[in-house]
Amino acid sequence: MTKMVAEELARCEVCARAKYVRTPQETPQMVTPTPGKPLDVVEADLVFLDGAIRLTLIDRLTRFTYNYPLQAKTGKRVREGLLLFLATVGTPRTLVLDRGREFDNFLVRSLLEEFGVKVHWTTPGHSRSHGMIERLHGTLQEHLHILRIGRGMTGEEAWARALLAYNSSLHSATGYTPLELMRAWQREDSPVSIEYVCGELVGQDVRNKRYRVDRLNNKATDRWNRVRAGDYVFIINWYRRRKTDPRFVGPYIVDTKLSRFRLKVKCVETGRVRVIHANESRPPRARQP
């Protein structure tokens, strides 16, 4: 009897739209490449705070942060900000960007191709692939609020002080300040051995990643290997404003499995086609609700 009730609830469209997911779906974790030296991998994104648009970049190894004001959220202005970064810092080996129109356009692509910078595009709908810079934005926002409330500072001076505070603070992941590591890389007379530090950071980072991946994947299931075209899914309602709004919208039918965790889905009611990450959806349903 219990099994029959559970199966019936699993087929309930109202439940799929409204009920809280007590065991959120997580795709199997994978070990990502670890940068071996500064400017091996740099993340870039836009941040919107206090009515201002700024281009933020962070080096994945040293955590050193750069920030440039932009006049508008356009490919032309982003290209200007990236060119300023390349002119003052140098060319990174890999630049991590999202698929926003301000980055994924001819102007930005041609600039990075000209300077030989490899681009890694993050998966749409999967914020964890841009997690380092997302956490950075939260920290900078806290610094700006402290400066505004405590000292009445706003504008460029507040941004400069927030960046200085971040780059001069001891980072829990490295045991050094970002400024110390960048100075060690740029200066031979630095008391910090960048070769030793990089070796220690890379080794520890790889060990930590493998431990986390093994621990998480041991709990994961193979449900995503069973996703096929024709399955029905419900997608997270990103426009949910009130607690009474549906948590999920749909149903959507899986049209194509673009990659292991990227799905091309089509809304049953409107015919709208979307590309989503698997983590955005409830478990697939094998038949139409």
Q: What CATH number is associated with residue 148?
A: 3.30.420.10
- pLDDT given for residue 140 in this prediction: 85
Query: Is 137 contained in some domain?
Result: yes
What distances in angstroms separate CA 33 from CA 94, 148, 192, 209, one per listed residue? 11, 38, 24, 10
Q: Are residues 212 and 231 in the same domain?
A: no
pLDDT (tens digit per residue) in 65-78: 899 999 888 989 99
Sequential pLDDT tens for the chain (289 residues):
666 656 665 566 555 555 555 555 555 555 455 667 788 889 998 988 777 889 999 988 888 889 999 988 898 999 999 999 999 888 899 998 888 888 889 999 999 999 999 998 886 665 666 678 888 888 888 888 888 887 887 888 888 888 888 888 887 777 778 887 777 655 454 444 445 455 555 555 545 555 555 555 555 545 566 677 788 888 777 776 666 677 777 788 888 877 767 788 888 888 888 888 777 776 655 454 4
Q: Are residues 196 and 244 in the same domain?
A: no
Q: Are residues 251 and 154 in the same domain?
A: no
Query: Is 61 contained in some domain?
Result: yes
pTM (two decimals): 0.60
Which residue, among 171, 174, 197, has the nearest Cα to 184 in the 3D structure?
Answer: 197
Q: Are residues 189 and 243 in the same domain?
A: no
- pLDDT given for residue 34 in this prediction: 65
The residue out of 185, 216, 247 marking a domain boundary is 216
Query: Is 34 contained in some domain?
Result: no
- pLDDT given for residue 106 in this prediction: 93
Q: Are residues 172 and 72 in the same domain?
A: yes
- pLDDT given for residue 190 in this prediction: 45
Q: What CATH number is associated with residue 278?
A: 2.30.30.140
Q: Are residues 75 and 197 in the same domain?
A: yes
- pLDDT given for residue 107 in this prediction: 92
Residue 25: other Cβ atoms inside 10 A: 16
Query: Is 120 contained in some domain?
Result: yes
Query: Is 36 contained in some domain?
Result: no
Q: Are residues 50 and 180 in the same domain?
A: yes
Domain hosting 74: range is: 41-216
Neighbouring-strand partners of residue 67 = 56
Beta carbons of 160 and 144 less than 8 angstroms apart: no
Q: Are residues 212 and 247 in the same domain?
A: no
Query: Is 250 contained in some domain?
Result: yes
**Judging by beta carbons within 10 Å of its beta carbon (0-12, 13-18, 19+), is residue 159 exposed, middle or buried?**
buried
Q: Are residues 241 and 208 in the same domain?
A: no
Q: Are residues 232 and 166 in the same domain?
A: no
Query: Is 222 contained in some domain?
Result: no
Q: Which 8-state DSSP code applies to residue 268?
A: T
Q: Which amino acid is at 236?
A: I
Q: DSSP per residue over 122-176, as a string?
A: PPTT-GGGGHHHHHHHHHHHHHHHHHHHHH---HHHHHHHHHHHHHTSPPTTTSS
Which residue, among 42, 57, 43, 59, has the nearest Cα to 181 in the 3D structure?
Answer: 59
Q: Are residues 151 and 271 in the same domain?
A: no
Query: Is 125 contained in some domain?
Result: yes
Structural domain total, the chain:
2
The residue out of 165, 194, 216 marking a domain boundary is 216
- pLDDT given for residue 78 in this prediction: 92
The residue out of 168, 184, 216 marking a domain boundary is 216
Average of per-residue pLDDT values in the chain: 74
Q: Are residues 136 and 276 in the same domain?
A: no
Q: Rounded to an integer, what distance in angstroms lies between the CA atom of residue 142 and that of residue 139?
A: 5
